[in-house]
Homo-oligomer: A and B are copies of this chain.
Amino acid sequence: MTAETRRSSSAITGPSLLDRYREVRARTEALCGPLAIEDYVVQSMTDASPAKWHLAHTSWFFETFVLEQGEEDYRPFHPRYRYLFNSYYNTVGPMHERPRRGLLTRPTVKEVYAYREHVDRHLAAFLERGHPERIAELHPVIVVGLHHEQQHQELLLTDLKHLLSMNPLRPAYRAGGDAGAERGGPATVPAVDWIEHREGLREIGFGGKGFAYDNETPRHREFVPAFRLADRLVTAGEYLEFMADGGYDRPDLWLSDGWAAVREEGWRAPLYWERVEGTWRRFTLNGLRPVRPGEPVCHVSHYEADAYARWAEARLPTEAEWETAAEGAPILGNFVESERLHPAPLGDRKAVVAGAPGPDPADPRDRPGARLPAQLFGDVWEWTGSPYSPYPGYRPPAGALGEYNGKFMINQMVLRGGSCFTPVSHIRATYRNFFPPRTRWQMAGIRLAQDV
């Protein structure tokens, strides 16, 4: 927990935090609405977790870091859950191995919901009747817990998509989702336009009020040379041209490790794409649907994003460039609240959701004089060319929450901007997401940059 976080969140009063808590917790459960019991249980690969595990782990977070600290004589719901639902916090003890999360048929889904209810009840009691000093102290931890839960909301959808895709029946997450969800929007998208930025010493990182993760701090200066940023995302249609031009067959386009991945994994297209009777389809939470040329390409690894950029005579932006370009941009875009659950073609206004009160939620490209890139927020996480490293002067918080972000600062690349699986209230211009460069099951896509 950073000092900033602590300061800012202390402004929020108890009751409103409880409302917020209830809202976020309910949202997680609503996302599970379409699931059969069976869908909660299975771990489709080591990187993914069962839905049931997400439900329990987020509750474990509040139980361990709030209730056990704040409530006198708190008795855990179950003595072994501390072991079963700890993800990676060595500080609070040993844990069930990650690759074995899918072996836990018990506790049952019903028991996990009872666990949630128990934690919710105790947390409400704590906020309503707890010692004010304890509440003030744990307030920032609850705020972290809510952002943590929002991250797991996104992972829940991401992992479910992967799980369902492994089934030859290709079951949709929700029936009839496609009817209003993936349709609409213009048939074509305009050519890329480049937005130019002068060189300059920039302030990067979070320094404002409100919540931010420790890895976004401290705000600091970086010298950013002049650059150009594409005013929209790379589309599936453009990616098809890369494929048609032998993109997956030309080692000169790839980083060495990326080329090794192409051969070892047999990559020939983005994840979830299937060639069915001569046309490309992609599996989505709405089922198997044809690829639409105007939609942003998604489910590509960093290696594919990087190779595509090289092919297009461009490169990926650095995260400082991205943040420079996003300065002052309103948080609006195709987020989970649009219920599309898939990136939308530029100009599909129905897919746009607005975040915190701000400018007109119309496509910013339309606003005269704005010169803000489109699709900055939502749709797809945008791979940057920046390895995930600590900012100068970064210090992880003391205690278990210090394990939240800092210990992963190696072998990963930064992504920016959120996606159509992200809650709109979760994202910020300074938000740093990170995944290893081989990762494909995340809702990640491509925006290009160039040297000037």
Contact = CB atoms under 8 A, between A and B. Distances in A.
Interface residues on A, range: 35 or more
Contacts of A201: 201, 223
Nearest to A166: B103
A167 B106 contact: yes
Interface in A169-209: 169, 171, 201
A37 interface: yes
A26 to B, nearest CB: 23
Given A38-B108, A42-B105, A387-B389, A80 B411 contact: no
Interface string A426-452: 000000000001000000000000010
Given A252-B90, A411-B257, A102 B102 contact: yes
A83 interface: yes
Contact of A105 (B41, B168, B222, B254): B41
Contacts of A349: none
Interface string A82-95: 01100010110000
Contact of A36 (B105, B225, B385): B105
Interface string A152-178: 000000000001101111010000000
Contacts of A257: 408, 410-411
A167 B410 CA distance: 32
Contacts of A222: 223
A291 interface: no
Contacts of A167: 103-106
Interface in A364-398: 385-387, 389-390, 392-393
A252 B396 CA distance: 11
Interface in A1-59: 36-42, 44, 52
Nearest to A302: B410
A109 to B, nearest CB: 7
Contacts of A44: 103
Interface in A248-281: 251-252, 254-259
A219 interface: no
B36 A410 contact: no
A407 B169 CA distance: 30
Given A84-B169, A90-B251, A102-B102, 17 more contacts: A37-B38, A38-B52, A38-B105, A38-B109, A42-B105, A80-B169, A83-B168, A91-B252, A96-B168, A103-B167, A105-B164, A106-B169, A107-B169, A223-B223, A386-B389, A387-B387, A411-B411
The 5 closest A-B pairs by CB, nearest first: A387-B387, A90-B251, A38-B105, A37-B37, A103-B166
Interface of A: 36-42, 44, 52, 80, 83-84, 88, 90-91, 96, 100, 102-109, 163-164, 166-169, 171, 201, 220-223, 225, 251-252, 254-259, 302, 385-387, 389-390, 392-393, 403, 407-411, 413, 437, 451
